[in-house]
Amino acid sequence: MGAFECFGILRLTGLIPFDLVSFLLLHREYKIWETGVGLKVYGLQNCDSCRKAKKWLEAEAISFEFHDLRKSPIDAETLRHWLSSIGAGALINRRGTTWRTLSDSQMTAHGEALVSLIMDHPAIMKRPIFVTEHDVSVGFDNKRKQTLAN
């Protein structure tokens, strides 16, 4: 049972006043049931940017599902979709320590070789990665906060 159903039952039984439900709807807590788990956040558990994003999403009452890329690797089809949606330039972190350990041939990989490389080294992706039904985006800054809050 979701938050909306719980509020509805409590309201019908008189345990929670209708005014409180209206208040919650007006003050953005509606996002708990409006978005469901429509927002998926991919990253690494120990990544500072991912932790900041998770903390902010929770503070804003935006429902999301977090996927740790090391614990639950993503499949090749998902990576292909991300690469076609936002491109390798936006997805690959060329400043990280994992990138610097790669060979020259790995750094110039493209197509299926790049998909394989990312699957083998998920830390070369910029993080966090936000995925909705219609959008894939990378990074967490003020612009992203505004997009996620709307």
Query: Does pLDDT of 132 surpass 80?
Result: yes
List, for residues 18-34, the tens digit of each pLDDT value: 555 444 444 444 333 34
List, for residues 68-98, the tens digit of each pLDDT value: 999 999 999 999 999 999 999 999 999 999 9
Known active-site residue 50? no
Does 122 or 28 have the greater pLDDT score? 122
Instruction: With CA atoms as reference, report the closest residue to 148 among 72, 34, 48.
Output: 34
Which bin fits 111, alpha (ψ -120 to 50), beta or left (φ > 0)?
Answer: left
| CA–CA dist 96, 140 (Å, integer) | 16
Look at residue 54 in the predicted model and tell me its pLDDT.
Answer: 97
DSSP state letters, 122-146: GGGB-S-EEE-SS-EEE--SHHHHH
| CA–CA dist 126, 53 (Å, integer) | 13
Catalytic hit among 3, 24, 25, 47 = 47
Query: Does pLDDT of 139 surpass 50?
Result: yes
List, for residues 42-65, the tens digit of each pLDDT value: 999 999 999 999 999 999 999 999
* Domains of the chain and any CATH numbers: 1-34 (no CATH), 36-149 (3.40.30.10)
